[in-house]
Amino acid sequence: MSDFLPLFRNPHLATIAGNFWSRPKVDERWARKEVFYETEPGVKVLVHEQQPDSDARGEFVLVHGLEGSSEAGYAQSMAWAALSNGFAVHRFHLRSCGGTDELAPTAYHAGQTCDLLAFLKTRRSPVFLVGFSLGGNVALKLAGELEQEGSKLIRAVCSVSTPIDLAACAQALARPENFIYERRFLTRMKERIRRRHLRFPEVYSLEYLPRVKTIIDFDEFYTSKLFGFGTAANYFKTQSANGFLGSIRVPGLLITAQDDPLVPFEVYKLDALRRNSFLCLIAPEHGGHLGFLSRHRPRFWVDATVLKWIGELCTL
């Protein structure tokens, strides 16, 4: 893989610039189709689907991050890269995301793999699964849960800037220097609770919102209770992808920056990651969180790296 030469060495600047950097207009170049899949009774998820100009050489499934959607810049540029290289693309929305609050009585969490699994079972052949940030945790965890059966649904799995240790990453978010990120996430998460309270007041209470000051608070008062984990600590422990990496039996590429302000690089120093021959870790010194803007073209280094890695798999 080509070395990453960062446009920005400051991790916060890299993170913020990566979020706001202009991306290619993939939905203007390739027609986008909205498809709703029922993943269990009473639950539907939205998938944005696009086909390349000729017969597809394979399928990409992209999974967005916390409070994100298929409109995220990283998803749009990866979709452009995949379509340009002849792959069909499915931008998968986690439960209730992408403006689909009304399609499920419950929302999503960082380890909720059931919807993604149900969608993958609708595909005719194994897909290339790419998850970003929290979506990467979902993708890696699912690949690990499937173990040997994973190859029936997943040709390869890639993760980018993924919080594989949810507890450590929640603690990192609570650091003073990360206040801007945590406040942005919490604003959106609290608003989600308010919206869902209007539709499902018997499930979503507003009682605890004034006590929620951090992501850990939110997961203690809401996520852990709504999904039956009991406590935030138990939610973090049971739903983190780091506990499933050793069981992955499909090729896996994990990309993370050593200076990621939200994902401490220490969480990637795992025996399971080193010992599992199916997995490859690429960890540039710089890049921030979902940043990775290159000093030279191609500007979006992650997209080029993932496409090159998958292209090599396709030739095997």
Given a contact cutoff of 8 angstroms between Cβ atoms, the answer to whether 306 and 130 are in contact is yes
Q: What is the DSSP string of the chain?
A: -PPP-BS--SHHHHHHHHHHS----HHHHS--EEEEEEEETTEEEEEEEE--SSS-S-EEEEE--TT--TTSHHHHHHHHHHHHTT-EEEEEPPTT-SS-GGG-SS---TT--HHHHHHHTTSSS-EEEEEETHHHHHHHHHHHHHGGGGGGTEEEEEEES--SSHHHHHHHHTSGGGHHHHHHHHHHHHHHHHHHHHH-TTT--STTGGG--SHHHHIIIIIHHHTT--SHHHHHHHH-GGGTGGG--S-EEEE--TT-SSS-GGGG--HHHHH-TTEEEE--S--TTTT-BBSSSSSBHHHHHHHHHHHHHHT-
Helix axes 166-173, 179-199, angle to 10 degrees: 110
pLDDT at residue 200, rounded to an integer: 86
User: Which residue ranges does the chain devote to CATH 3.40.50.1820?
Assistant: 11-164+241-314
CATH homologous superfamily of 11-164+241-314: Alpha/Beta hydrolase fold, catalytic domain (3.40.50.1820)
Look at phi and psi of residue 252 and say left if phi exceeds 0, alpha if psi is from -120 to 50, else beta: beta
pLDDT tens string 5-52? 999 999 999 999 999 999 999 999 999 999 999 999 999 999 999 999
pLDDT at residue 316, rounded to an integer: 64
Provide the pairing of β-strand 154-160 with 88-92. Answer: unpaired
pLDDT at residue 315, rounded to an integer: 78
Burial (Cβ within 10 Å: 0-12, 13-18, ≥19) of residue 17: middle
pLDDT at residue 189, rounded to an integer: 96
Closest to 129 measured CA to CA, from 293, 258, 254: 254
Give the Cα separation of 140 and 121 in Å (integer).
Answer: 17
AA letter at 23:
R
pLDDT at residue 199, rounded to an integer: 86
AA letter at 227:
F
Given a contact cutoff of 8 angstroms between Cβ atoms, the answer to whether 40 and 98 are in contact is no
pLDDT at residue 2, rounded to an integer: 66
pLDDT tens for the chain, 316 residues: list them. 568 999 999 999 999 999 999 999 999 999 999 999 999 999 999 999 999 999 999 999 999 999 999 999 999 999 999 999 999 999 999 999 999 999 998 999 999 999 999 999 999 999 999 999 999 999 999 999 999 999 999 999 999 999 999 999 999 999 999 999 999 999 999 999 999 999 888 889 999 999 999 999 999 999 999 999 999 999 999 999 999 999 999 999 999 999 999 999 999 999 999 999 999 999 999 999 999 999 998 899 999 999 999 999 987 6
Give the Cα separation of 66 and 57 in Å (integer).
Answer: 30
Q: Is the peptide bond before 24 cis (omega within 30 degrees of 0)?
A: no
What is the percentage of the chain residues whose pLDDT exceeds 70?
A: 99
